[in-house]
Structure 1
Amino acid sequence: MKSSLTKKATTALSPRKQPRQERSSKVVDRILDAALILTREQGTKTPTTLAIAQRAGLSVGSIYQYFPNKEAILLDLARRWLGAFPEVIAKRIAAPRPTNRDEFQQEVDKLFVDTSRLYLDNATLMPVIEAITGNPDLRPIQNEYDDQIIALYAAWLQHVNPALDDGIASRLGVVMMEVGHVCRLVGLKRDRKAFDLIQDDVKTMWLALVDPYLDLN
């Protein structure tokens, strides 16, 4: 069974056809949009290739021109989800530097509003993300994004305190990313109230963790 899963995962890593023209890119977008809508509507049930094709207004054959199977479609969706986080964190780096704890907490609140929306809107993709984490063939995909997010968190902390050591900033970035992700996954598996409460706890932990290093009044 393990070798079979690995083979499937390896196949899913490579879309069958890369869009090179605007028309092809729009077709791929239609496929991914349809798959995302269906995953949200169907919860834990994985949409079939036929259902994705019907929602996208395409033939199944058109789907297979770009993706070898439905797993490849979901994997591409997961890539897009992971790829949304760097932009959200970068917004906080581009914002004016906070000069006190209240201003920094406001920045943290803004970040959590944006990142929580990504989790809540894409909750049905979390099994895909967890599968990537647990599969040795797919894990490098998440590692790439994890490293980028850690570096951005570190850059954000150094934006707040330019004197913060690189090594410390990176270490704090690891904790911020890991704690934030794992805790919110736990919340998503429960209910919205639990998610919101856990998120508040994560913010409290973040602030307690980084406050000694930010030199804020």
Structure 2
Amino acid sequence: MTHTGAIQPRRTPRQIRSQRRVARILDAAIHVFAQRGYGAATTTAIAEQADVSVGSLYQFFPNKEAILYALSERFDASFFAWLDGALTADEGRRSTEEWINAFFEALAVMDRQHPGLFRVLAHAYTSPEFVRAERHFNAQVARRVLALLTSRVPHLPAGQLEVVAAVCVEVTHALVHLASTSEDTASDVTFEARRVLRAYLSVVSTEPGRQGGGAGPTVHNPTGGPSS
């Protein structure tokens, strides 16, 4: 992703000691954001939680928005490392249902590794920069889902498959967001999300493909780059 404006870090850590310090700052930020809320959190509180000086924090991040963006990028890198590894190792061995279960289990593992991160990201994506980053992330996931679907639903035309991949990603993203902001019903929402995906893909895989597309507005490049 491209950093712009207020979310641009001051510098990238190159030494191992600096990398560890940045990781500590990011871990502390999750805790502070989750405890206080993004709006009430301060860089001073994050520095105290990380046991570093505010000056040390400012060496890497100009403000809390840049810290949040770095958290988002760290999650993206971790998720894509899992997804690409899973796709490489799959070779057609997993069923669609096994893929859905593996996907949600991977999210659960990441949530356990960084408690509160999903909730923090769900509540804080408000600026145009974050919206663009979110759209870019979804587009990258949709490209990978498209590659997976192409070999599993070969009877569908390429254009329809692109839309199906985008729908899978957007629906899942919306339901994960809902689960992240509704702690009391999070497990129920996640269960229903799995069921929605299973039902949708079951219908898609058994129905004949549409030639020339269906009725409704045209979807332009659903798996392309970030929308403006």
TM above 0.5, one fold? yes
What is the number of equivalent residue pairs in this alignment?
199
Match of 2:123 in 1: 127
What amino acid is aligned across from residue 207 of structure 1 in structure 2?
A: R
Match 2:138 to one of 140, 146, 153: 146
Q: Deviations over 1:23-75 (max 9, x none)?
A: 32222122112212333444566432122212222111111111111221112
Match of 2:177 in 1: 185
Q: Which moved more, 1:60-69 or 1:80-89?
A: 80-89
Report if the CA contact (8 A) 2:47-2:57 is conserved: yes
Match of 2:195 in 1: 204
What amino acid is aligned across from residue 139 of structure 2 in structure 1?
A: D
Match 1:56 to one of 42, 50, 56: 50
| Matched ranges for 1:48-197 at <5 A | 48-93=42-87, 94-98=89-93, 103-118=95-110, 121=115, 122=117, 123-128=119-124, 130-131=125-126, 135-161=127-153, 164-192=156-184, 194-197=185-188
**Alpha carbons of structure 1 residues 106 and 138: separation in structure 2 relative to 1, 3 Å:** closer
- Between the aligned partners of 1:70 and 1:98, the Cα distance in structure 2 is 43
- Between the aligned partners of 2:146 and 2:35, the Cα distance in structure 1 is 36
**Alpha carbons of structure 1 residues 169 and 85: separation in structure 2 relative to 1, 3 Å:** farther
Structure 1 spans left out of the alignment, 5+ residues? 1-8
Q: Please report how far the alpha carbon of residue 195 of structure 1 lies from its aligned counterpart in structure 2 after TM superposition.
A: 1.8
Match of 1:35 in 2: 29
Q: Which moved more, 1:16-25 or 1:27-36?
A: 16-25
- Between the aligned partners of 2:81 and 2:122, the Cα distance in structure 1 is 20
SS of 2:19's partner is helix
- TM-score by length of structure 2 reads 0.74
CA RMSD of aligned residues (A): 2.7
Report if the CA contact (8 A) 1:155-1:169 is conserved: no
**What percentage of aligned pairs have identical amino acids?**
28
- Between the aligned partners of 1:119 and 1:156, the Cα distance in structure 2 is 24
SS of 1:187's partner is helix
- TM-score by length of structure 1 reads 0.77
Match of 1:6 in 2: none
Match of 1:5 in 2: none
Q: Please report how far the alpha carbon of residue 213 of structure 1 lies from its aligned counterpart in structure 2 after TM superposition.
A: 4.3
What amino acid is aligned across from residue 22 of structure 1 in structure 2?
A: I
